Structure 1
Amino acid sequence: MLAIVGAITSLFTLVGSIFAAIKSWRGFVKEQREDRERARREAEEARNMQAKADAEWRNSVDNRMDKLYDSQQAFGHDRIVAECNRHLHNHYITTVDLDNMMHLMRAYEGVGGNGTAHMLWEKVKQLPIDDSKEPDAIRGEYDAQTRQEIKEFMEVKTA
């Protein structure tokens, strides 16, 4: 009988140990699952924070680029209006000045400029070209190709 009681006690001890091990294992598995979930949430939060920082940086760069375009447009507008008014006042333009104005207008239009400066430019293109007013050091420096490019540009713009 004692042997049976000892065997039953051993059996209960063994079963209790198995249940304790299972309970401990379940706790370990639950803790591991919670750790993985916490790590996933932290990684997601880090990705969201990085995405927000990236978006703010892009917006900052976009804003600065917009301001640069605006300032380039303003400088181009100012320079073109001043030069157009000077040529309209003189009632002529030189090849050198025409070439310079052509480059200014291309850059100005490239940053979205139009309006008043463009209207004045159209008037300047109608002025006669008088290369006798060029300084001696510059006169004749523009070759036939440059003059042809200017002529083609003028024809495209007036068409």
Structure 2
Amino acid sequence: MAEPMISDFKKIGIGLTGFGMGFTFLGVLLLFDKSLLAMGNVMFLSGVGLIIGAQRAVRFFFTRKRYKGSAFFFGGMTLVLVGWPIIGICLEAWGFVNLFGDFFPVALTFMQNMPVIGNILAMPAVQQVVDRLMGLNTKDAPV
């Protein structure tokens, strides 16, 4: 059975997006280091552009229903570059949730089927948070 081919641009884009998220995480972990946060932002955006293409990325960020999320996301990036990394990351996080919030249930469903991560997500305390993020009604679920 033939595996679906992923282009080299998409492979590089996935790597850049992952490294961008990693650099952003390290920047937050290292007391909001401005240069790590800026590198993470650039890598994340270029990775998204390579994964879905430049035109589709522009359409994704600048459609009418995503203006608010994009404004917060790019405004936060600007604040990080200007020198206010704490406020900038908070705005970026809010914009990220507004932009990519529709993808969380899909990503969580995928992660639940992974070997180690699935076991962690199946733990009772974590399962309640996962169910809320996925929009499942936790009141009717057996305990």
Q: Give the TM-score of the pair, scaled to structure 1.
A: 0.28
- Higher RCO (CA-CA < 8 Å; seq separation 6+): 1
Give the alignment's TM-score, normalised by structure 2: 0.30
